[in-house]
Amino acid sequence: MKNWLNTLRTLIWKDLLQEWRSKDMLTAMLAFAILSIFIFNYAMELDPRQRAELAPGILWVVITFSGTLGLNRSFVAEQEQGSFDALVMAVPGLGSIWLAKQISNFLMMMILILIVLPVYSLLYNQNLFIPGLMMTLTLGAWSFSAAGTLLASMTAQTRMRDLLLPVLLFPILMPVNMAVVKAGTGIMTGAAVASYQVWLTVLLVYGIIMSTISLMVFDYVILE
Amino acid sequence: MRIELRGLSKSYGRLAVLKSCDLELQSGQLLCLLGSNGAGKTTLLRVVSGLLSADQGGLFVDGKETSLNSAQWRRQCAFVAHKTYLYQDLTGLENLSFFSHLYQCDFTQEELRRRLGDVGLARAADKQVRAYSRGMQQRLTIARALLPEPAVVILDEPFTGLDKDASALLVRMLAGVKERGGMVLMTSHDPQAAISVTDAFVRLSRGTLTDVLPVRGRVWAELEPLLYPEPTPKAQAA
């Protein structure tokens, strides 16, 4: 177990160092996210109540679309010089490759969220740093990166990966999209906790199930 | 240690790439696979290294059946392929340090620098791999592959892109692997380059291992006509 955790830590360190040097993922994600928020801002004239109702939806659209761009880039380093094979041969358990990549992708998503929220708050004059909303977005980001990392590892080996990933990912993410938007709207409009609690449970359960399935099938996905 | 591959078969859809291949390799031995493009050499190497599942056949290590797809087997193998398997944004030293941690070797920085020095990259240790020439990357690839002292070293066209010095270095390193009891399986379109350390040539033709030619101290001039016989008039006409 200790070896497995050391391997995991080494893989995450490599992903973060690689990203720190290249800034491949974050640049693409942030540029897309901030431009999208500007477009939404100019495209929709909203009164304060509408803003509260629509903010979680707009935010989540921006985050998932930007996140998909990031996921597409997350296996580039492994594909560039075939180092994925070297990883497969070196690690004691293939699941650690998936989990490390998933955690790295989740951290990127959280950095994206932490940058997007103040920009959105500034443009729409609306405070989004609400603990409940932060928790909802965090759970959503975990589920998104769990499903997305597995699919990205599959599509990374194909020629049409940029197109294939969103086509496969978005239908699978439907429960997450619904849960984030419903729970987020409930939180923003000050609804009773009981009215959106079920959506938070959906997010939590989805994240656990998707992470477990991904860990179980990753060996098969890679070796076949 | 002795490994036997028995009845290995692999197909991509309806295309049979490997057809019931049998191969035997012992400690301290180097086998060089020969075959034309598309003969199935790379597929055979990937199956042996556990990177690709075989449709049929098995691996026996010292007579005991072992799964080709187990992490335990993969970690005993090192693979040098056409691609370098290196991270371009990391330095040479960081690449070695990263793989050293994955293999739980945990070499010190001094030891890793010494390894880089062994392949002539001491002065480039702290440069990002992106700035390395093709030959330097190939040297680093070899250092990376041999880092955990693997039992089986698998090389796919290792002499491609290497200059004379680097080729000589690779031959020395392969001799070192044999000396410490490791085994080497490689493909090469330039079999003469490693003749001094090769124990036998194995020919692969359309997915079938056809014949084995032991070197037995023979020089290249004696081996060449045996490896590349003059085509018969009938074959030429075909």
Q: Structural domain boundaries of chain B?
A: 26-54+68-76+150-238, 87-149
Residue B231 has pLDDT above 70, yes or no: no
| Gap from A150 CA to chain B (nearest CA, Å) | 18
**Of all residues in chain A, what percent are helix, strand and coil, respectively (each to 5)?**
85, 0, 15
Residue of A nearest to B94 (CA): A14
Residue B233 has pLDDT above 70, yes or no: no
* B89 at interface of A, judged by CB pairs closer than 8 A: yes
Please judge whether B90 and A90 are an interchain contact, meaning their C-beta atoms are less than 8 angstroms apart: no
SS3 of B27, please? Answer: coil
| B:143-182 residues touching chain A, CB 8 A cutoff | 144, 148
Q: What does DSSP say about strands B208-214 and B64-66: parallel, antiparallel, or unpaired? A: unpaired
Residue of A143, A105, A86 whose CA lies nearest to A26: A105
Please judge whether A14 and B87 are an interchain contact, meaning their C-beta atoms are less than 8 angstroms apart: yes
Residue of A nearest to B145 (CA): A86
Probe site for chain B from A74, A89, A223 (most B CB atoms < 10 A): A89
Please judge whether B86 and A83 are an interchain contact, meaning their C-beta atoms are less than 8 angstroms apart: yes
Phi, psi of A6 (to 5 degrees): -65, -40
Residue A201, C-beta contacts closer than 8 angstroms, at least 6 positions apart: none
Residue B111 has pLDDT above 70, yes or no: yes
Distance CA A139, CA A201 (A): 10
Please judge whether A17 and B94 are an interchain contact, meaning their C-beta atoms are less than 8 angstroms apart: yes
Paired tokens of B11? 């197909």
Helical pair A193-223 and A95-124, crossing angle rounded to 10 deg: 140
Whole-complex ipTM:
0.85
Q: Are B82 and B159 in contact (CB under 8 A)?
A: no
pLDDT for the residue B140: 93
Chain B residues close to A86, C-beta within 8 Å: 79, 85, 99, 144
Q: Are A176 and A144 in contact (CB under 8 A)?
A: yes
Residue B107, C-beta contacts closer than 8 angstroms, at least 6 positions apart: B96, B97, B100, B115, B147
Among B53, B87, B101, beta carbon nearest to A83: B87
* B50 at interface of A, judged by CB pairs closer than 8 A: yes
Please state, in angstroms and as integers, the Cα–Cα distance from residue A131 to each residue in A126, A127, A134, following that order. 14, 11, 5
Paired tokens of A163? 């197109």
Cα atoms in the 13 Å half-sphere on the side-chain side of B103 = 24
Paired tokens of A11? 């893989």
Phi, psi of A174 (to 5 degrees): -50, -50
Q: Are A66 and A29 in contact (CB under 8 A)?
A: yes
Residue-number span of the structural domain to which A115 is assigned:
2-223
Q: Are A52 and A106 in contact (CB under 8 A)?
A: no
Please judge whether B71 and A92 are an interchain contact, meaning their C-beta atoms are less than 8 angstroms apart: yes
DSSP 8-class letter at A51: H
Distance CA B159, CA B174 (A): 12
Angle at A120 between CA A32 and CA A187, to 5 degrees: 120
* B77 at interface of A, judged by CB pairs closer than 8 A: yes
- Counting the structural domains of chain A, the total is 1
Residue of A nearest to B100 (CA): A90
Please judge whether A91 and B71 are an interchain contact, meaning their C-beta atoms are less than 8 angstroms apart: yes
pLDDT one digit per residue (tens) for chain A, 224 residues: 778 889 999 999 999 999 999 888 899 999 999 999 989 888 887 787 788 888 899 999 999 999 999 998 888 778 878 888 999 999 988 889 999 999 999 999 999 999 999 999 998 888 888 999 999 999 999 999 999 999 998 888 788 878 899 999 999 999 999 999 999 999 988 889 999 999 999 999 999 999 999 999 988 887 76
CATH fold label, B26-54+68-76+150-238: Rossmann fold (3.40.50)
pLDDT for the residue B69: 86
Chain segment A74-89, per-residue pLDDT in tens: 887 788 788 889 999 9
Angle at B72 between CA A87 and CA B49, to 5 degrees: 60
Alpha helices in B68-216 (DSSP H): 71-74, 92-102, 109-118, 134-146, 164-179
Chain A residues close to B156, C-beta within 8 Å: none
